[in-house]
Chain A
């Protein structure tokens, strides 16, 4: 579905730059980009929907280079969930969910019905919350709306930039469960950025470990833990796991 070929992006300040790297993401796959801040994981995500343009290399979506797409319509057909909440504060919940269908000029009545369905799917009581304003909702509820908004575009591909980073542990756990279930039942392709090791392990079909703009290793959680390709990956997983083991033994 997505192919990155020798893609590089540099900044004057080096932070969040990408060395030339290649990556293949299949349809229906849940891929997590794992790395610390400045590793280039957000840069990589933003190259896919042309929020950033690469210095070199090519990104293809469904076999077609993204630079051949009109950036606006490209973005309207890719769901995006933000690190901050990113809801428009002057619009009600249902208006936020309807953002992209309205930008595209979709049929209003139909979109409106679907918006209620999407709210139900992210387990938010549509009848109760549809007309509320974002600031009347908890952080977890707001991010459910964020996910519903991304799904309401009808996109097969969702880009998620540390969406649960600002939530408390319990709420984050609920949303992770909900997201994984939705992804499997709807068969969406998701590229998900996080610095949280356990979030990556829980959600990913495949994890891409990024460090200083380079891919350290790509693989399932099991592969990364059992067959680390580099000392960085080994370190990344062994220390927290060791800590857990220590607790269990005690």
Chain B
């Protein structure tokens, strides 16, 4: 119980921030979907011939898996809130359009005939009769849309839009169930609360409608005017929020990371140094999906700095096949990034995090395994596991398999956070982990030597947009203070504290900086 309180107190401010982000994403997308969906629904009710084709398109949108949708929007709109809002809006459209159409089309014919005979114009009939009578059906659609949005918005974390999904993605990445629940439980509660809130709105609108004659005030007489006013004020709020986000005058440094433990810690180290020693506002864009997502975001200027490994850049981004020594690799990568991508590599942190081909100590003993070549003969009896990303990369599984002639019985793609546990529990026999993971000693795992020099050196270093490094020398100076400060043992220990002691990356990073005396005194600029 105490642990729970401590956990909630530690994460409290972050929880509120993520909850607000999540609410803005959900309410914003639902609000936009209401405006667009009502319009489409109303137009369709006037044009029966268009109903089939338009509904087919909207239905098709709904069947695109959410992650695929985000992937499609990524090259068009980059990362962040905008593509997330677009994706969520597209998902929210279907229930609203369908219910608007059903609600209006389902009205009794004699009521509509009566309107015509009494001298209603099209517009008067729509606003005074059709929409109010269809209101319960339309509101049911809006409620469905809002609940769907809350759920899908948890995936927005993959493209840096924040929200409660950040906790879930990070929790999965660092194998921390409490963190997953910290995202999932408030998301579920938010969905229930929104549904309830909209139900109350619906009841109020219906009551207004039923007391219509009591007053001539337009809002009291006309529930639709009230509804439209509510939607407009929601849109206004969103607009203000967006304006506020865009209008922050201080130069903001956006620190990014990929979605695994070590990346969170490195990003925190950089962010906290910048917060401590510069006047810049620092924004964290953590948990971006993969090296390609972060790299694109850097090129697009959507984030400013993130930690990367030379070998990853060498193979996955630059597509180089040779394996060179550490210093040469760094120089070549630095050169190529500057020329091709207008990105700078700052001096390395001081340790290497290579891919580690891992087996349990027991398996290593039984078969006398020391180097990767040793597993070739028993590979047909083994199952190898790795993170999805490892399969797609140039320095990934297919190339490794071909280099060492490994013919495994089977392979398993899984979340990187679950990989070590799967290996320990014997569900897989070989894993492609990373050499600085704190679980290697704890789980009694053995790292096999890369005897054919397959993996390039993977020195960790900050990558920064040249647009920033050229104009803000203070930022470069501060980040350089981290150069050479972290060795593999220290990194492994920090990873262990996050992965196994369930501490936050921020507090582990902060402790490290304080112990190193990097936070005091404040550096004069």
Binding site for B on A (CB under 8 A): 49, 51, 72-77, 80, 82, 84, 86-95, 98-100, 103-104, 108, 130-131, 133, 149
Contact = CB atoms under 8 A, between A and B. Distances in A.
Nearest to A146: B114
B114 A82 contact: yes
B476 interface: no
A88 B115 CA distance: 9
Contacts of A98: 213
B500 interface: no
B111 A103 contact: no
Contacts of A82: 110, 113-114, 117
Contact of B120 (A49, A90, A94, A103): A103
B118 A99 contact: yes
A122 to B, nearest CB: 17
Contacts of A84: 110, 114
B118 A108 contact: no
Contacts of B292: none
Report, as a range, how many residues of chain B touch the other chain.
20 to 34
A90 B132 contact: yes
A103 B124 contact: yes
Nearest to A104: B119
B213 A94 contact: yes
B214 A86 contact: no
Contacts of B213: 91-95, 98, 130-131
Contacts, number: 69
Given A75-B116, A108-B216, 12 more contacts: A49-B117, A82-B110, A82-B113, A82-B114, A86-B113, A86-B114, A88-B114, A90-B133, A92-B210, A95-B213, A98-B213, A100-B119
Interface string B131-167: 0110000000000000000000000000000000000
Contacts of A130: 213
A92 B110 CA distance: 18
B218 to A, nearest CB: 11
Nearest to B206: A90
B519 interface: no
A150 to B, nearest CB: 9
B339 interface: no
Task: Give the 3 A-B residue pairs with the shortest CB-CB distance, closest first.
Answer: A76-B119, A75-B119, A86-B114
A77 B118 CA distance: 9
Contacts of B110: 82, 84, 86
Given A95-B213, A130-B213, A131-B213, A80 B118 contact: yes
Contacts of B209: 90
The CB with the most chain B CB atoms within 10 A, among A82, A88, A133, is that of A88
Contacts of B129: 88, 90
A75 B210 contact: no
A89 B117 contact: no
B119 A103 contact: yes
Nearest to B209: A90
B383 interface: no
Nearest to A149: B118
Contacts of B116: 51, 75
A90 B210 contact: yes
Contacts of A93: 213
The CB with the most chain B CB atoms within 10 A, among A77, A80, A87, is that of A80
Contact of B111 (A49, A51, A86, A149): A86
A108 B121 CA distance: 19
The CB with the most chain A CB atoms within 10 A, among B111, B212, B213, is that of B213
Nearest to B121: A72
A76 B118 contact: yes
A92 B207 CA distance: 12
A206 B124 CA distance: 37
Contacts of B216: 108
A89 B119 contact: no
A88 B216 CA distance: 18
Nearest to A109: B216
Nearest to A94: B213
